[in-house]
Structure 1
Amino acid sequence: MTWLELDCAEPDCRLENRYRKLSILIALPMFVLVAILAGVEYWLLRAHTLQSLAEKNAAVAQELETLIRRSGDHLRRMQTAYTDSSPAVNGELHRHFAASGPEGLYSLNSLPPALQDQTGQLLWRGGSADQGKMILAGFEAFSRLCRFDHATEPGFSHSYWLAANGDFFGVYPWQPSNEALAWSGFSINNQGSAALTGELFRKALPDRNFNGQNFWLSPRPSGGPSATLLHAAPVLASAKLAAVVAVDWPLTEVQSALKRWSSPIGRLLILDENTYLLADSAGMKAGSILQLPQLKLPGLDRSQIDAGLAAGKPLATRGGVLMARDVSGAPWHLVTLVDEGELAGLLWPQLLPYALILLALGATLSLSLFALRREFITPALSLVTYLQQLARDPKSSEPSVPKLWQPWVKVISHTFTSHRSALQQLRAGEAFKSAIVENSMLAVISMDQQGMVMEFNRAAEQVFGISAEQALGADLADLIIPERYRAAHRAGLQRHIETGRSKVIGAHLALSALHADGHEFPIELTIFVTPVGQQSFFTAFVADHTQRKQAEEEVARQREALRQSEKLSAMGALLAGVAHELNNPLAILMGRAALLEDKTQDSELQNDAARIRAAADRCGRIVKTFLSMARQKPAERKWTLLNEVATGAVELLGYGLRSAGIDLTLELDPDLAPVEMDSDQIGQVLVNLVVNAQQALSSAVPTPRLRLQTGQEADGQFLRVADNGPGVPQELCERIFDPFFTTKSEGTGTGIGLSVSRAILREHGGELVLEKTGLGASFLLRLPINERRARPRGAKSANEREEICHEGMALVVDDEPEVAAVLADILRSAGYEVHVASSGNQAMQWLEQNRCNLLFSDVRMPDMDGITLWRTLRDRHPELVKHMALVTGDTLSANIAPLIAETGLPCLEKPFLPEEILQLAARIEV
């Protein structure tokens, strides 16, 4: 079908086609003729308008060439004045031509105002007296010439006189030397050829300008309201460049040349050879210096300007017309842009007569065709419209048509009424059935005897992730039944068709179904059979039990997690009591052993004391490791050696490994630097990995071996825990890091150890991975090294001892006499006088009469504990609070840590080493 002829064979279509053809055949020749005449007239007017613009451009070019000639005459006179100047020197100028300023340049800065108006400024870097006289004589001639030319040509801004070797620089009119240099942008401070590096001198050199021609520079800022153009000429002596003379033109002078250019359309630009904008008929912002790309004129670039210059006539561009011409005497181009839309807007009103002719022809044609349309076309179109309305609305009224057309209307009305009545009855029945199926909360799926899907409701789409369009007509077995059940499904269907018997019809079945994305999920369904003639149709009502199963599993996981949490809580409470009871005797043992080692001179006795101290220290580290693992506290990162963390874990678990017959190998890199970490958390991770390895090796492994290795990587450090046990199956390599996933028997593991361990490593910016090895399991722990942070200078580890001597009074408060005695002896060994109090009340009574330089207090004491003592001191003796420290063997209790944090005091955990006590004393001493 086309706009000229409808593609159909019905009577109404043929009538419409005849009408269209007749209308077109009558009107087309006349409209084409008028359109051709209008087009010819338009192109004639267009050519005339463009010619008028070209003439205006020529007038502007003539104006510019006049300005350029006057500027060139001025330059030639300055060249002549330079070469023909007489040696006579004005005595007044000579008297005021003197050196001044930090550079020592000769200048006319001291000229009186009367002479400043008649001469310019001369800057000379100095030389012989004769040379100075010659330069001053030439400058007098330069000033006289410039005074006359500037008076006759107001467009001149500044005239310049510059020596090629950089010796002197002259400018007219007079300005202070600093302003003259700032205005011009020139400098005479450089020596020799350095003065010839600028664009001005490069264009003046004989090897580039051997004829001594005038030249122009691109616009430059002037510091005033308008940018300037520099017109310059070389002064040659013996074929060498002696000087350069130049004159500044404000861009406003070039812009004023556009006053003679006025046009309702188009835009005239004056551009130099580097496409800098010199003038714009649309106006220019004062002081602006723009190049062609910055104007962002669509379709205009340097290549199009060159094409317009080469063509010598208007050139069609994208969306308009371009005209370009050169300006004689300067590397400038006049570029005129005419928008085709503006041109059309100017010319279309002149084509109004042709529009009136077309209007008259249209009116005549309309009157001629009116009778034809009234008798034939209108009744036919009314009938077509009635058909369309009746199809949408059964209550549409019959159209008013001539008697000849009325039988058509009656036939159409009767046909639509009968058909609509039958269709409504059919749709009502189908809608009722569809509503039941579609709105069912259960997925409803029907199939025929061949297993093809016949019904797939909205709930089924949501359950299986398959649209009804995809499901209808597809094989049900391939669509939603897992592959391992498809053969049984097809066999059961065939058996029912042949025998009429089936075990699944009417039964509630719990099965697995296949989702569109490939995963299986649990369902419950019931199947019914509906015989229709010789066919049987099967309908299944399906319920998705995924969420119910997930809820059951989640409840089981939460119950197990709660049980483990309660177990850990009870263990933490037990550890708190055990640790407190162990820490006090360990503190006594470690302190006495250290003091004995320092006091005795017997080397054998010193040896025994050192061994006792080392054993007690080991017990203390084991207790601290237990406490660190059981304590719930925020992460606290410190600079720690990874080897120390590994050694601590081995000490904690060493007995269990030895009793299990496991051969433990330590390969610790001795050159590892400290890493910023929470040693408690990393130690917890390492203990968890070693315990897992021990449990894996407890199975039938002939020679169980466990290897701990540390080392350096490119961007961090690593710790490897590798065993020769049964390893991890390939399919479980990633699942072992999932929360609550475990391969151990019930009651042996919670399934959260590896998940928590990986989370701890990632919080440190590292990673915990299972390496692929041929035998056993190998876990790699990676820790990054923060290059932007360094270990604090001068920091000492806990095992480094230093000689610390003090004087002053120390107060020790502890309800355990032996612990208090050890603390007192340690402080006395460093030079302190020590007083011991067994409670906070005794300490306060002593402080009423005495003063101390530092105070050590236990936290848990009868009568008045350490926290209450701190609060009392804060109220009564606030000056002592900052010299107080706490000592405790119970940091695991839930009520202790917040109280210690409240005080903000340093706290030393039992058991302690003497050097730890003395280092803490040094920090808090007065």
Structure 2
Amino acid sequence: MIETRPASLDPDIANPGLSVITARILRRLRETNDWQSEIRKVLSELGRGLDVHRTILFRLRDVPGRGFAQSVAAYWNDEAVENIGESPTLIVQSIVNQDPLLEQLAVEVRQGKIFSGQTRELDGFLRQDFERQQIKSFLSVAVFAHGHAWGTLAINDCLAERNWTSDEKATLEIIASAIGDAVEHSLSDANVRDTIRKTMLQASLDGIVVIDETGSVIEFNPAAEKMFGWQRAEILGKDVLDTLIPEYYRPGYATGGDYMSGRGVPMIGQRLETVTQNAAGDIFPIELTVTEMKVADRRLFFGSIRDLRDKRRAEEEINRQREKLHQNEKMAAMGSLLAGVSHELNNPLAVVVAQSTLLHEFAPDPQTKSRAEKVRAAAERCGRIVKSFLGMVRLHPTAQAETDLNQVVRSALEVTAYGARSGGIGIDAEFADGPVLAMADPDHITQVVANFLVNSQHALASVPTDRRIKVCTFRTAAASGFSVEDNGPGIPEEIRHRIFESYFTTKPVGVGTGIGLSISRAIVERHNGRVRFEPVEPMGARFVVELPAVDHSFAIAVAGRQTISSLRNALIIDDEPDVASSLADILELMGVKSKLVVEWTSVGEELAAFEPDIIFSDLRMPGVNGMAIYRELLELRAGLARRFVLVTGDMIGARAEIEALPAHLRPQLLEKPFSTLDVRGMLATITDQVTLSG
């Protein structure tokens, strides 16, 4: 018959063997600070002393999502008995709710009643479970901690049915009470503080290293393991001088204790930045805080270590971004400066080009004609250099047009020629016969060529003699392109895959920004082309650019077409009389008569007695500018607006203003300094435009 009765501690235990077992278990539980580390030994000793085959400590608790549960805190099985090796059953609330006996026992356990008997006397879930575990007899008492039922302590006989004696029941009650006391003791304030300290040590993101007065490592947390590459078990007991202190700090010290007594003294109580060494011998920066502790008669040093490698990398990145911003500001300032300078230079250059052209045309003798040609060629070269510089700092989107790569490369060579000459660098240029045509923005492709030429000049700075750059243009059936090659040291194979990355550079600080090649590749790819690096034997580097080719036969047909201009009268508006008269002289050579206006008044007044076939207007003038005149014509004389040409040396400002208009309303642009060929081409363009619109 199942017996349940209120628990009562009977101090009169008749069996002296049980008294010894009980005393030994009580002493074990009383002396330990961690009952969980001793509980298996307690259960084993209890089982053997009571001659049972299984002892179990159950834990009563709420399991998230499963309600109340009786889980297993620990158990012991007699290995001499077969087929009882599996763990006891976890009983959850849903099972209790379906079994009347379990519901009754749940109430009685909280009342402190003993549960004992034989399995054959049970029914329901417990009988099935006990038979499966071969339990013949059972005895269970409650374990109380902190004023409530914490769990139960149970013993099982798996071989025979037995009637439990009062001595056995009292022994089990006494040990259950001692376990409850141990549970309460383990959760004392001191124990909680100790647990918190251990948890903080393990969870700290900073490396924690504790050494004693001899320099031996006595604590090493997981963050320190990750930081230094040492496992805790490997480094405990080792001298900090031989493990974590860099080799160049070790001379003069026999042990880590000597080091702490000497060089380490200023570190104590301070937060400072220094360096350390990991298991692989790598030196890296750290932030270190050292605190001295006295524990009994021992002197300990507590070190909190923060790895500064990520911080330093972030600082370096910030510095790179700051340098990038500085470079961008310099480029923007240079662009503004060039725009202003170009405007001031292009006006006198326009006069020199135009007048030297006229002098060449009307020279009375060959000697004068030759000198005029030299002046004209030099002035045009100055104009091309200014245009190339401006093209490299223009911010307008890629405007692709039929472009001769031979001319693009020549422009880039003129821009970079001084750097090559001053560096003692020879340049070999091989141009393909005839135009090498591609659909491209000449300004942007000129920038690409110039980037490669500048990079080659920098690479050749380390070559003592025979510094050479070779530039070639070429065409194939599908592509037009160019290459820039130098006989410098080349690019190491291990970094070739990174050379087109933004801000990656092998140049010294202050020489390059690391963005030239990445920008060049971006420009080429926007043109549907490709750029590649090729090593040169025995040493050197070559960069090759290929762009989609233009049908050469079509280009020749277009170039050979002659346009007969029907324009006979021109109106030239410019506040600089020399520029206006030079343009008028060139137009006169082409059969076009001109009227000059130095200061514009209005459309009605200026066109009252003169009807021009084409109008040339300077963009920048005091009072009213060229765009204002053009807008006035659009409103009052739309027919003349289609014959309007802006003349300017400030192409950056001109493009910005023109592109603000709808595409079909944008005027033509003539850039200073202009040659007779430029003016003739503009007359042809206006003639075609008028013909198509008519």
Give the structure-1-normalised TM-score.
0.50
Residues in 2 aligned to 1:9 and 1:578: alpha-carbon distance in whole angstroms: 103
CA–CA separation in structure 1 for the residues paired with 2:208 and 2:329: 47
- Aligned position for 2:660: 902
2:624 paired residue among 852, 861, 864 = 864
Cα 1:699–1:471, aligned 2, differ >3 Å: closer, same or farther? closer
State the shift of 1:867 in Å. Answer: 1.2
Instruction: Letter of the 1:823 partner, please give it.
Output: L
Write out per-residue CA displacement over residues 335-362 of structure 1, whole angstroms, 9 at most, x where no aligned residue.
Answer: xxxxxxxxxxxxxxxxxxxxxxxxxxxx
Contact 2:483 2:544 in 1 (8 A): yes
Bigger drift between 638-647 and 388-397 goes to 388-397
Using the alignment, how far apart are the partners of 2:459 and 2:571 within structure 1?
53
Whether 1:627 aligns to 2:369 is no
CA contact (8 A) 1:19 1:377 kept: no
> Residue 619 of structure 1: CA displacement?
2.5
Structure 1 residue 806, shift from structure 2 partner = 1.0
Deviation, structure 1 residue 770: 5.2
Please report how far the alpha carbon of residue 592 of structure 1 lies from its aligned counterpart in structure 2 after TM superposition: 4.5
* Cα distance change of structure 1 residues 606 and 767 upon mapping to structure 2, 3 Å threshold: same
Aligned residues of 2:220 and 2:236 also touching (Cα < 8 A): no
Which residue of the other structure, out of 248, 255, 260, is the alignment partner of 1:495?
255
Which of these residues, 411, 433, 445, is aligned with residue 670 of structure 1?
433
Deviation of 1:625 after TM superposition, in Å, equals 0.8
Q: How big is the alpha-carbon RMSD for the aligned residues of Structure 1 and Structure 2?
A: 5.1
Aligned to 1:616: 379
Asked if 1:703 is matched to 2:466, the reply is: yes
Cα distance in 2, alignment partners of residues 642 and 613 from structure 1 = 23
- Name the stretch that deviates more: 665-674 or 645-654: 665-674
Residues 9-52 of structure 1: per-residue CA shift (max 9 Å, x gap): 338989xx9999xxxxxxxxxxxxxxxxxxxxxxxxxxxxxxxx
Per-residue CA deviations over 1:742-793 (Å, capped at 9, x if unaligned) read: 666665555544454444445445555554345654241323437xx86894
Q: Provide structure 1 residue ranges, at least 5 long, that are not aligned to the other structure.
A: 1-7, 21-368
In the alignment, what sits opposite 1:143? none
- Say whether the 8 Å CA contact 2:141–2:173 is kept in structure 1: no
Corresponding residue for residue 287 of structure 2: 524
Matched residues in 1 for 2:522 and 2:83: separation? Answer: 83
Tell me, in whole angstroms, the C-alpha distance in 1 between the residues paired with 2:497 and 2:243: 26
Select which of 54, 74, 97 maps to 1:10.
Answer: 54
Which residues in structure 2 correspond to 1:506-905 (within 5 Å)?
Answer: 507=267, 510-512=273-275, 521-527=284-290, 539-550=302-313, 552-594=315-357, 612-658=375-421, 660-670=423-433, 673-697=436-460, 701-711=464-474, 716=479, 718-725=481-488, 748-764=511-527, 771-773=534-536, 777-785=540-548, 793=554, 802=562, 804-807=564-567, 809-841=569-601, 844-893=604-653, 896-903=654-661, 904-905=666-667
CA distance in 1, matches of 2:580, 2:259: 96
* Residues in 2 aligned to 1:801 and 1:652: alpha-carbon distance in whole angstroms: 32
> Percent sequence identity over matched residues?
30
In the TM superposition, what is the alpha-carbon distance from 1:581 to its structure 2 partner? 2.7
Amino acid at match of 1:9: H
The CA deviation at 1:646 is 1.5
**Is the CA contact 1:445–1:460 (under 8 Å) kept in the aligned structure 2?**
yes
Aligned equivalents of 2:244 and 2:562: distance in 1? 76
Q: Report the Cα offset of residue 523 of structure 1.
A: 1.0
Counterpart position of 1:81 = none
Which of 196, 208, 212 is residue 444 of structure 1 equivalent to?
Answer: 208
1:704 deviates by 2.7
| Distance change in 2, residues 1:408/1:493 (3 Å) | farther
SS at match of 1:781: strand
Q: Secondary structure at the match of 1:701?
A: coil
How far off its partner does 1:866 sit? 0.9
Decide whether the 8 Å contact of 1:505 with 1:527 is kept in 2.
Answer: no
Which SS does the other structure have where 2:623 is aligned? coil
Q: Aligned runs of 1:411-430 on 2, under 5 Å?
A: 411-425=174-188, 427-430=191-194
Larger-Rg structure:
1
CA gap of 1:382–1:429, structure 2 versus 1, over 3 A, is: farther
In 2 relative to 1, CA 504–477 (structure 1 residues): closer, same or farther, beyond 3 Å? farther
Aligned equivalents of 1:790, 1:484: Cα separation in 2: 70
Alpha-carbon shift at residue 690 of structure 1 (Å): 2.4
Letter of the 1:840 partner, please give it.
Answer: W
Cα distance change, pair 620–465 in 1 and its aligned pair in 2 (3 A): same
CA contact (8 A) 2:404 2:435 kept: yes
Q: Secondary structure of the residue that 1:653 maps to in structure 2?
A: helix
State the TM-score, normalized to the length of structure 2: 0.65
Paired letter, 1:899: E
CA distance in 2, matches of 1:582, 1:908: 15
* 1:376-391 equivalent positions in 2, closer than 5 A: none
Secondary structure, in 3 states, of the residue corresponding to 1:635? coil
CA distance in 1 between partners of 2:615 and 2:408 (Å): 32
**Cα distance in 2, alignment partners of residues 778 and 430 from structure 1:** 66
**Structure having greater relative contact order (Cα 8 Å, sep ≥ 6):** 2
Distance, in Å, in 2 between the alignment partners of 1:681 and 1:794 is 21
Which residue in the other structure is 2:63 paired with?
A: none
Give a deviation string over 1:560-618, Cα, whole Å, max 9, x none: 44544444344333322332233223333434555566678988877666555444332
Indicate conservation of the 8 Å contact 1:809/1:834, yes or no: yes
Matched-pair contact (CA < 8 Å) for 1:594–1:914: no
- Residue 919, structure 1, aligned to residue 684, structure 2: yes
Q: 2:400 is matched by which residue type in structure 1?
A: R
Gaps of at least 5 residues in structure 2 are 1-51, 57-76, 85-117, 155-161
Structure-2 change in CA distance of 1:650 and 1:429 (3 Å): closer
| Number of residue-to-residue matches in the alignment | 558
CA contact (8 A) 2:243 2:278 kept: no
User: Match for 1:434: what amino acid?
Assistant: K
Do the aligned partners of residues 531 and 807 (structure 1) sit closer, same or farther apart at CA in structure 2, a change above 3 Å counting?
closer
The residue aligned with 2:221 is 456
Q: Secondary structure at the match of 2:659?
A: helix
Give the 3 Å change call, closer, same or farther, for CA 396–496 of structure 1 in structure 2: closer
Amino acid at match of 1:437: L
Residue identity in the other structure for 1:431: T
Partner SS for 2:601: helix
How far apart are residue 897 of structure 1 and its match?
A: 3.6
Give the C-alpha shift of residue 911 in structure 1. Answer: 1.7
Deviations 1:310-349 (A, max 9, x none): xxxxxxxxxxxxxxxxxxxxxxxxxxxxxxxxxxxxxxxx
Once the two structures are superposed, residues 134-170 of structure 1 have per-residue CA deviations (whole angstroms, 9 ceiling, x without a partner) of xxxxxxxxxxxxxxxxxxxxxxxxxxxxxxxxxxxxx
- 1:206-233 residue CA offsets vs partner (Å, 9 max, x unmatched): xxxxxxxxxxxxxxxxxxxxxxxxxxxx
Q: 1:810/1:377 Cα in 2 relative to 1: closer, same or farther (>3 Å)?
A: closer
Q: Distance in 1 between matches of 2:544 and 2:302?
A: 57
1:866 and 1:886 in contact (8 A); partners too: yes
* Secondary structure in 1 matching 2:443: helix
Deviation at 1:454, TM superposition (A): 3.6
User: What letter corresponds to residue 870 of structure 1 in structure 2?
Assistant: Y
